[in-house]
């Protein structure tokens, strides 16, 4: 998934009811489907093929015949509340907006050039047998999910600061055994909120870069620089860092973690960000942890693995009451697959944490990878489900 | 066609030889069955991209300059024959003594030339060994830009899939024809060279002719829409061939090119879980038609300044923006990459991706800066890992009576 999702998304709050947008294969729409609406946007007109449709899953096939990028909105009767929108429809391109709309009066709007109020018209959704189930509790569920997630991130960030402080104190003092024990514990709090941390494009490379990720001329700092110094066994011709160098890297890490902590205090989230974050954390597992690439020197990959899964599960569980309303089958599948993956991780727990990655058998790694795939695939449906 | 019998072999050879020696440039006919091996430039560069690839890198195992030259002569003869649809050796797969192994391995019996081209290149390590020592009396002719490529972010190189003293690119429309070519050349080389690594490609990912349609890579997107096409002769001269005088110490390379090979592993399973909108934003084009997100159809020029809903409609980190000539000092590459799937990895993911091949006039200006820009900022990098890398100088074409790379050893 796209890394800087929070930063970008903070600017534009995605509406809760908004919807899947798809590329409209056939901009002509399906004449046999009364819920298929063709929208043709030009620089000065917005032609909507019908003004009245039965309630249910509406498909707006939006084609841009103008010269500027256009947007299409389905707004509430007040003309303010965004029910659904599709953005970034380039000239001569088409996109499909799918929205589950209950009966009521609405406003449609094309916004060529993305300026002003757009070209508006009234739109009516009539009662039908396919009336979507709407709960008056929806907004309350959303508010609760958002508040809980925000609290979770702040709590993890807080623990990250204190554990990192302990870790660097031991590292600077040369208490290497203690530092080695604290390293995966401190990183657990980072990995639980990794997609949030990564959304700060300036902090992530300074904090979590691996040696192979470096750009020409980029100085290697952060967790993994210290990791190599604490576990130099695999390194070729390695020169240990001097106490002065240790202090530099340790203080630099602490400074960046503190900056991260300052920033997360003011972050707000949307449900789709939480869902995307949950998916993103499992992608982190699939890309770096299950392959043993993340903690190349220390082999503490399973700590990170567990922490990513923790963060993903917290995200999902916060949204679960919403998903249970909108797609109960998906909620059930995700619950079962999180549990199946956790069972495999539990089997690798030890008195001090987890089995080191290089002590896992190929079969155990394969089982973990299979469970990650089994979970990731339905998890990629989560965002669309909470927005439906 | 490698003849099943002497008569068939002769007949086919006569027909093919007739076409190959006709006075038409190799690129005039799109997707022909034979392309002339000899010419001003090596074939397999501006030749309309064939469907299949077998690419091999070799280590030279001899210290003898004479043996190396003898191999290049033998390879030239064999390549000349095979690209005409003839057997690798003069006798043939089934025509020789029952007491000898055949001088052609036989799997191409009954097949046509399949559009086969065979293209040779020289790696930096052919000129100097790891200690900088001149290996074959050619160190003073090493082209300035022919060095081991620098480390790029996202490189996790496997030395067993990287580097090499020599390379051979065999492209054909039939995979068996391409494999047959590499197999027979490797066999001829035993004792002088050893295969270091080789790579199969099953589907072209770019287009080198305006008459070819744009194929798709394993991300499911059209690839190579903006590639240099052979019909753009001025751009081919400017961006692909090494001009006379371009490198005074390596005049032998004039009329040649540089070949950059990069094995991009795609994280297929993770990519497939990205939403359609995100995939299109990463690429900067629609998945359906390949039109840029700024609108139009596939070949409409992208408008990078067109405002979109959250910043430019083609995002700042979109692939099409970062590698576009507008943001890279106007440089273009002639890409000739192939999709590959080498089975699966130990955790059940496809070992798949794009074997990137680009021909450029100078990697220092035409490849390294572009790769750095991409590695640094491209949203697509999240789903890519480079596991193999190599750079070769591709000598100019082979005239009648010459052997490939002759200018390096004589002029």
Rounded Cα–Cα distance for residues B222 and A375 (Å)? 30
**Average pLDDT over every residue of A120-142:** 78
- All residues of chain B having their beta carbon less than 8 Å from the beta carbon of residue A369 are 347-349
Q: How far is CA B248 from CA A2, A68, B141, B143, in A?
A: 46, 50, 9, 9
Query: Could you tell me what percent of chain B has a pLDDT over 90?
Result: 89
- Residue A10: band (very low, low, confident or very high) from pLDDT cuts 50, 70, 90: very low
H, E, C per residue of chain B:
CECCCHHHHHHHHHHHHHHHHCCCCCCCCCCCCCCCCCCCCCCCCCCCCCCEEEEEEEEECCCCHHHHHHHHHHHHHHHHHHHCCCCCCCCCCCCCCCCCCCCCCCCCECCCCCCCEEEEEECHHHHECCCCCECCCCHHHCCCCCCCCCCCCCECCCHHHCCCCEEEEEEECCHHHHHHHHHHHHHHHECCEEEEEEEEECEECCCCCCCCCCCECCCCCECCCCCCCCCCHHHHHHHCCCCCCCCHHHHHHCCCEEEEEEEEEECHHHHCCCCHHHHHHHHCECCCCCCECCCCCCCCCCCCCCEECCEECCCCCCHHHHCCHHHCCCCCCEECCEEEEEEECCCCCEEEEEEEEEEECCHHHHCHHHHHHHHHHCHHHHHEEEEEEEEEEECCCCCCCCCCCHHHHCC
For the stretch A39-50, pLDDT in tens is 999 999 999 999
For the stretch B198-215, pLDDT in tens is 999 999 998 999 989 999
At residue A132, the pLDDT reads 62
Query: Could you tell me what percent of chain A has a pLDDT over 90?
Result: 69
| pLDDT over 70 at B396, yes or no | yes
Rounded Cα–Cα distance for residues B119 and B125 (Å)? 18
Distance from CA of A284 to the nearest CA of B (A): 10
For the stretch B237-289, pLDDT in tens is 999 999 999 999 999 999 999 999 999 999 999 999 999 999 999 999 999 99
* Contact at CB, A2 and B278, closer than 8 angstroms: yes
Distance from CA of B55 to the nearest CA of A (A): 26
Count contacts between A and B (CB, < 8 Å): 116
At residue A21, the pLDDT reads 56
Q: Report strand pairing: A52-54 vs A119-126.
A: parallel
- Residue B72: band (very low, low, confident or very high) from pLDDT cuts 50, 70, 90: very high
Rounded Cα–Cα distance for residues B391 and A208 (Å)? 31
Q: Which residue of B has its CA nearest to A366?
A: B347
Residues whose CB is less than 8 angstroms from the CB of residue B277 and which lie 6 or more positions away in sequence, other chains included: A21
- Residue B21: band (very low, low, confident or very high) from pLDDT cuts 50, 70, 90: very low
Say whether residue A151 is in contact with chain B using an 8 A CB cutoff: no
Q: What value does the mean pLDDT of chain A take?
A: 89
pTM attached to this predicted model: 0.87
Say whether residue A52 is in contact with chain B using an 8 A CB cutoff: no
Instruction: Provide the 3-class DSSP secondary structure of residue A89.
Output: strand
Q: Report strand pairing: A104-110 vs A119-126.
A: antiparallel
Say whether residue A7 is in contact with chain B using an 8 A CB cutoff: no
Rounded Cα–Cα distance for residues B312 and A279 (Å)? 26
- Residue from A9, A85, A88 whose CB has the most chain B CBs within 10 Å, to mutate: A88
Half-sphere exposure for B378 (CA within 13 Å, toward CB)? 23
CB neighbours of residue B394 within 10 Å: 27
At residue B135, the pLDDT reads 97
At residue B4, the pLDDT reads 39
Q: What value does the mean pLDDT of chain B take?
A: 92
At residue A23, the pLDDT reads 54
Greatest mean pLDDT among A128-132, A325-329, A352-356: A352-356
For the stretch B336-378, pLDDT in tens is 999 999 999 999 999 999 999 999 999 999 999 999 999 989 9
Q: Do A179 and A170 meet the contact criterion of CB atoms below 8 Å apart?
A: yes
For the stretch B151-198, pLDDT in tens is 999 899 999 999 999 999 999 999 999 999 999 999 999 999 999 999
* Contact at CB, A69 and B372, closer than 8 angstroms: no
Q: Quote ipTM for the complex.
A: 0.83
Between these two residues, A242 and A386, which has the higher pLDDT value? A242
Rounded Cα–Cα distance for residues A364 and A341 (Å)? 12
Give bridge partners of residue B405 from the DSSP assignment.
Answer: none
At residue A353, the pLDDT reads 96
What stretch of H or E contains A97? strand A94-101
Say whether residue A256 is in contact with chain B using an 8 A CB cutoff: no
Q: Which residue of A has its CA nearest to B290?
A: A93
At residue A11, the pLDDT reads 37
What stretch of H or E contains A58? strand A56-64
CA triple B255-B197-A294, angle to 5 deg: 110
Q: Report strand pairing: A46-48 vs B203-204.
A: unpaired
- Residue B23: band (very low, low, confident or very high) from pLDDT cuts 50, 70, 90: very low
Q: Do B307 and B313 meet the contact criterion of CB atoms below 8 Å apart?
A: yes
Distance from CA of A379 to the nearest CA of B (A): 9
Residue of B277, B293, B382 lying closest to A21 (CB–CB): B277
At residue B100, the pLDDT reads 95
At residue B411, the pLDDT reads 63
At residue A22, the pLDDT reads 55
Distance from CA of B389 to the nearest CA of A (A): 14
At residue A31, the pLDDT reads 58
Closest CA to B178 of B45, B306, B64, B79: B79
* Contact at CB, A216 and B379, closer than 8 angstroms: no
Q: How far is CA A219 from CA A227, A258, B66, B407, in A?
A: 15, 20, 47, 44
Between these two residues, A6 and A118, which has the higher pLDDT value? A118
Closest CA to A168 of A254, A256, A259: A254
Instruction: Provide the 3-class DSSP secondary structure of residue A210.
Output: coil
What stretch of H or E contains A343? helix A328-346
At residue A281, the pLDDT reads 95
- Residue from B149, B265, B275 whose CB has the most chain A CBs within 10 Å, to mutate: B275
CB neighbours of residue A206 within 10 Å: 18
- All residues of chain A having their beta carbon less than 8 Å from the beta carbon of residue B312 are none
| pLDDT over 70 at A62, yes or no | yes
Residues 112 through 131 of chain A touching chain B, CB cutoff 8 Å:
113-114
For the stretch B77-128, pLDDT in tens is 999 999 999 999 999 999 999 999 999 999 999 999 999 999 999 999 999 9
């Amino acid at each position: 998934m796209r890394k800087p999702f929070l930063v970008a998304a903070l600017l534009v709050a995605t509406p809760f009811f908004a919807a899947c947008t798809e590329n409209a294969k056939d901009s002509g729409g399906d004449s046999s489907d009364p819920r298929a609406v063709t929208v043709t946007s030009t620089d000065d007109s917005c032609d909507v093929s019908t003004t009245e449709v039965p309630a249910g899953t509406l498909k707006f096939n939006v084609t841009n015949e103008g010269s500027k990028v256009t947007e299409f909105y389905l707004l509430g009767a007040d003309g303010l509340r965004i029910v659904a929108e599709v953005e970034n429809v380039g000239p001569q391109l088409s996109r499909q907006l799918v929205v589950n709309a209950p009966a009521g009066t609405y406003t449609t709007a094309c916004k060529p050039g993305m300026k002003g109020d757009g070209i508006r018209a009234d739109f009516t959704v009539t009662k039908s047998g396919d009336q979507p189930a709407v709960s008056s509790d929806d907004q309350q569920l959303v508010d609760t999910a958002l508040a809980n997630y925000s609290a979770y991130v702040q709590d993890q960030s807080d623990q990250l600061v204190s554990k990192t402080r302990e870790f660097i104190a031991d590292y600077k003092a040369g208490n290497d055994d203690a530092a080695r024990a604290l390293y995966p514990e401190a990183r657990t709090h980072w990995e639980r909120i990794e997609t949030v941390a990564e959304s700060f494009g300036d902090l992530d490379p300074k904090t979590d870069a691996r040696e192979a990720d470096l750009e020409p001329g980029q100085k290697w700092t952060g967790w993994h620089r210290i990791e190599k110094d604490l576990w130099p066994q695999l390194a070729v011709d390695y020169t240990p860092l001097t106490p002065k160098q240790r202090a530099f890297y340790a203080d630099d890490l602490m400074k960046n973690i503190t900056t991260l902590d300052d920033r997360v205090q003011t972050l707000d989230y949307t449900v789709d960000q939480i869902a995307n974050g949950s998916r993103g954390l499992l992608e982190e597992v699939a890309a770096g942890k299950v392959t043993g690439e993340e903690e190349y020197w220390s082999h503490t990959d399973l700590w990170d693995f567990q922490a990513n899964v923790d963060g993903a599960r917290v995200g999902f569980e916060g949204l679960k009451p919403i998903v249970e309303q909108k797609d109960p089958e998906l909620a059930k599948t995700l619950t079962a697959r999180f549990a199946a993956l956790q069972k495999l991780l539990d089997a690798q727990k030890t008195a001090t944490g987890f089995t080191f990655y290089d002590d896992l058998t190929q079969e155990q790694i394969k089982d973990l990878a299979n469970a990650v795939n089994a979970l990731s695939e339905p998890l990629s449906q989560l965002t669309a489900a909470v927005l439906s | 066609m490698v003849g099943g019998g002497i008569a068939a072999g002769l007949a086919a050879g006569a027909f093919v030889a007739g076409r190959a020696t006709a006075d038409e440039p190799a690129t005039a006919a799109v997707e022909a069955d034979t392309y002339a091996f000899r010419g001003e430039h090596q074939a397999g560069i501006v030749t309309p991209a064939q469907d299949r690839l077998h690419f091999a890198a070799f280590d030279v195992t001899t210290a003898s300059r004479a043996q190396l030259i003898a191999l290049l002569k033998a390879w030239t003869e064999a390549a000349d024959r095979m690209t005409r649809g003839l057997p690798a050796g003069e006798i043939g797969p089934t025509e020789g003594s029952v007491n000898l192994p055949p001088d052609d391995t036989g799997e191409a019996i009954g097949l046509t030339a399949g559009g086969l081209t065979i293209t040779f290149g020289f790696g930096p390590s052919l000129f100097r060994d790891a200690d900088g020592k001149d290996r074959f009396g050619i160190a003073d002719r090493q082209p300035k830009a022919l060095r081991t490529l620098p480390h790029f972010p996202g490189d996790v190189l496997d030395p067993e899939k990287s580097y090499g003293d020599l390379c051979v690119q065999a492209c054909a429309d039939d995979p068996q024809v391409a494999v047959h070519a590499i197999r027979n050349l490797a066999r001829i080389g035993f004792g002088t060279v050893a295969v270091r690594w080789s790579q199969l490609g099953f589907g072209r990912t770019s287009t080198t002719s305006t008459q070819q349609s744009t194929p798709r890579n394993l991300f499911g997107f059209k690839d190579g829409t903006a590639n240099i096409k052979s019909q753009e002769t001025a751009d081919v001269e400017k961006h692909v061939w090494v001009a006379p005088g371009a490198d005074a110490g390596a005049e032998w390379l004039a009329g040649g090119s540089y070949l950059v090979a990069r094995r991009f592993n795609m994280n297929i399973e993770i990519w497939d879980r990205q939403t359609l909108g995100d995939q299109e934003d990463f690429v900067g084009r629609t998945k359906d038609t390949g039109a840029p997100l700024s609108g139009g159809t596939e070949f409409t020029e992208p408008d990078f300044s067109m405002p979109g809903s959250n910043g430019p409609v083609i995002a700042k980190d979109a692939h099409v923006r970062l590698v576009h000539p507008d943001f890279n000092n106007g440089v273009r590459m002639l890409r000739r990459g192939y999709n590959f799937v080498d089975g699966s990895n130990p955790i059940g993911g496809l070992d798949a991706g794009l074997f990137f091949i680009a021909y450029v006039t100078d990697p220092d200006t035409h490849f390294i800066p572009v790769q750095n820009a991409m590695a640094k900022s491209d949203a697509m990098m999240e789903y890519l890992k480079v596991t193999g890398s190599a750079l070769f100088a591709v000598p100019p074409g082979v005239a009648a009576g010459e052997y490939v790379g002759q200018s390096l050893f004589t002029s």
